[in-house]
Amino acid sequence: MTLSEQHLKTIQTDFSDENLPIVIAELEQISRAQTMESAENLENVLGAILSLSKGNVAELRNLVAAAKRDFRDVLYWWYLDNKKTNHPE
């Protein structure tokens, strides 16, 4: 799998230089097969993981593990986080 330019930019912005290889290796563990053979789902889940992890490698690892079990969970958590951020009650 090759990460998109946007995902690579996010990784470089959010994570320290020493963590870049770790982050990329973690994200590369998720395959299209785990996202219902959909390139769009894969791109979306990678973006959600990067957004939710907020530069925290431990959180990124937790999210990757969750996405490998069921990527839809991560997308739902991202949706909830995004909804909370954009529409605070």
- Per-residue model confidence (pLDDT) at position 89: 64
pLDDT tens-digit profile, the chain (89 residues): 789 999 999 999 999 999 999 999 999 999 999 999 999 999 999 999 999 999 999 999 999 999 999 999 999 999 999 998 887 66
Which string of DSSP letters, residue by residue, matches 25-74?
A: HHHTT--GGGGTT-HHHHHHHHHHHHHHHTT-HHHHHHHHHHHHHHHHHH
What residue segments make up the domains of the chain, in order of their start? 5-86
pTM above 0.85, yes or no: yes
Could you give the C-alpha distances from 52 to 25, 37, 48, 67, 74, in angstroms and in order? 17, 23, 6, 12, 9
CA distances to 11, 44, 81, 88 from 84, rounded to whole Å, are 23, 19, 5, 5
